[in-house]
Structure 1
């Protein structure tokens, strides 16, 4: 429709637009959910601060604290080539695109049209055949009076931020999994070297019994016991090879490689008999155990990507309530168009061929069978679920930190006790073998002492592996690394 009152309508449209833009967003404004939290961790002192999303430092090289260049190189490779990280990166880009699509609702839609129509008409018996050429520009805009677009943008931005947290969480998960697998391989290497020296000692013991049996000083059963002891140790060493291969395959996949194209050279340690110190110290693996700060502050939970992502999803769910409630209010659409229309192409751009229009439309749903209420109830329920998920994520974060702090404390004590057990068992083994050579003890006592010594040595290596694993888990539980200097400055 072409409007004739041209001077007054543009002014009226501008006034109406200004009025509409003054509208406010419906729905609740976002407030971070409140949590009943303790003042400090049970396992360590430190002030508590309510969790708030912080910028996740996904590139923090926490793995450097172990002082192993091979581990650092593998994690850098995983950051670049791991397929799960690439999936998370693509999902983050998708979330960013969705947020950009929501922001597009602030702007009008503008379209260009051109056409040519040839028609025959019959008016009062007069038949006419003519062509009409048109060229025009049209625009429509729905003002965000009730804040539906603003709430959609708020939800989109929160979703994009949550996706960024998911990306950081995926990186941290891959990094910590790779570190766990790598450190366990090094512990297996330590045990392999332990078995190498042990089987060498058992072979010498078997040779001793064979010589004494040939001399007629011992029974054939002594030779059988010595041979059984040697073969058992060799079988256990072979079992370690299977475990190492599986871990090596896992590292290959984490770094974006086929298992057939990846191998990790074994760590060669001293060929001398293992000592309590060499089995319980990370130095035996040519790495260092990160020192746990005495007063780990609980603010570090704010660096956990899963907590940050869960909190931002609460914000998105809250904004979606406003989007649902905006459907209760009328929709207003402003439109405008202008262009040219003429019977001949040569006259298309002449002044008389100009046409334009301005318009406004108001639409209000009167009855929808409860559809809007159902959508609002759904949005409220989704918000309640996201709040509960956020609180559960925070509580799980507390548990993981407490568990790993307790594990490190207990394993530190266990490692010291196990080192004492290794020293005692090795002394008992040496004394039993000496007594057997002197003929004052049976070979059964030697086998018993050897079995006890090997068991304690292997247990010491396993405790070291658990210490390293708990250290990595604590780093993951606190969001990707920390150091004593940061803890001091944070207090």
Structure 2
């Protein structure tokens, strides 16, 4: 008896070993992803040389209300209005909602599925087939109700990784929405600044019309005294007409700029006509914050979106790798099945089933390997996109800072030139009126003064435009508070190379 028991134990062990050997042999013959990998990594901002271009100046990062620095309440109100009515923002919100819906679908795949069904069938059964009389050859009504449940064991984490990928896509979509919001705010602010510039240029053009009207009157008086001829009079009238045409052109540009702002607000063109003249101030002093390259990663929404997309593709790579391993699904069902209604609710009509299903890819013609290669290509592209976005972000900050500094230096000389040109213009008019100089001298001085006024006006508006662009380049008040933003996902590039279970060689 004891020897028989020992033989049974030995046979059981041999069977287990045999099953393990067979299973290992099957796995070795299965499709695998040996040799498919990526060595791409996300660039770190500290590795770029920025010390000279982006010096630490103990400045502050832009706040969410960065437009307040210009002291124009109407501009702030326009930005608030745009957040409520812009179709562009609605599109961004719709994309976030769609990504959230996909995430909920991915989450559902990680949970047990339970369903109920009922079927009624009226059927005439063959009298010469499998079903014998009296059912065979008769019409029968079959009622069948089932309660079923299934669950994917997800041993290799495919569904869990798909859920993580969809959650990262949601984070990327939310960051994209912030990019749209920031871009919209910047577009409105810059268009509003352009409107302010046009009004200043209009003032200069009106002053020029007044001055050239005065020159025309002086010329008429000089003609009466024989100091000038009709040639000077016609020249004065021509210059006056040119100034009026310039004023009309500016008025046209003011109207079209109003229409542009209305479109950015998501409103009709008439909304732009109600915008009052801007009263923008000069803005805050420009100083860069410390530790800028490193902190910029969490301050720019486009960088955050690019980083989350790398994270999403990282999990999609793991999903593609898990496809090489067996899928095991458990299922069970219980219900009632009977001919007619009278016996449906009896114990004899009970039916139940339980089972499992295993799917193991053995030969698929290289489809799984091709799919994994595609995911790695997407990963490489996402990493390259992130790296390019980082390079562009650093360049934008440096460029805008350099332009601000250059404009500040130009303004100093331009204002000196403006003062001297205005003084020369007034002196020329005085001398012309007194008969001490000719009209050509007056016109030259007038043109110089007009050009100097326009240069200063354009530089002041450009300075404000560059300040707006710098605020946007620094993130416009955005701060990424997610785990990725705090630096916890800096290793996503290397993680994507790892297999969630075992590397197949």
Indicate which of 212, 221, 232 corresponds to 1:222. Answer: 232
Distance 1:294 1:338 in 2: 69
> Which residue, out of 78, 86, 90, partners 1:82?
86
Partner residue, 1:193: 203
Of 442, 458, 461, the match for 1:462:
458
TM-superposition CA deviations, 1:166-207 (whole Å, max 9, x none): 111111111100000001101110111121122112101110
- CA offset at residue 297 of structure 1? 4.3
Matched, 1:33 2:21: no
Map 1:113-152; keep pairs closer than 5 Å: 113-118=117-122, 119-120=124-125, 122=127, 126-128=133-135, 129=138, 130-152=140-162
TM-score, L = length of structure 2: 0.80
User: 1-side partners of 2:75 and 2:298: how far apart?
Assistant: 26
Distance 2:463 2:207 in 1: 24
Greater Cα shift, 227-236 or 98-107: 227-236
Instruction: Render the CA deviation track for 1:444-473: whole Å, top value 9, x for unaligned.
Output: 011000000000101110001111110110
Contact 1:28 1:321 in 2 (8 A): no
Aligned residues: 433
How far off is 1:106 after superposition? 0.6
Q: Deviations over 1:222-263 (max 9, x none)?
A: 223322322222222222122222211110101111213431
1:359 counterpart (355, 358, 377):
355
Q: Does 1:406 align with 2:398?
A: no
Q: Which aligned runs of 4 or more in structure 1 are off by greater than 6 angstroms?
A: 26-32
Q: How does 1:2-81 map to 2 (within 5 A)?
A: 33-35=42-44, 37-38=47-48, 40-46=50-56, 60-81=64-85
Distance 1:479 1:117 in 2: 65
Q: Secondary structure of the residue that 2:342 maps to in structure 1?
A: helix
Cα distance in 1 for residues equivalent to 2:204 and 2:390: 42
Q: CA contact under 8 A between 1:65 and 1:290: conserved in structure 2?
A: yes
Confirm or deny that 1:104 pairs with 2:98: no
Matched residue, 1:389: 385
Residues 318-338 of structure 1: CA distance to partner in whole angstroms, max 9, x if unpaired? Answer: 111111111111111111001
Structure 1 residue 427, shift from structure 2 partner: 1.0
Query: Is residue 234 of structure 1 aligned with residue 239 of structure 2?
Result: no
1:180 matched to which residue of 2?
190
* Contact map agreement 2:70 2:280 (CA 8 A) in 1: no
Cα RMSD, aligned residues only: 2.7
Q: What is the distance in 1 between the residues matched to 2:132 and 2:471?
A: 91
Contact 2:179 2:301 in 1 (8 A): yes
CA 1:359–1:30: 2 relative to 1, 3 Å: farther
1:449 to 440, 445, 449: 445
**CA distance in structure 2 between the aligned counterparts of 1:138 and 1:108, rounded to whole angstroms:** 11
Deviation at 1:354, TM superposition (A): 2.1
Q: Indicate the residue corresponding to 1:8 in structure 2.
A: none
CA deviation string 1:57-104 (max 9, x = no partner): 9x9222222110111111111111011110111111001101111111
SS of 2:431's equivalent in the other structure is helix
* 5+ long unaligned stretches in structure 1: 1-25, 49-55, 269-284, 483-491
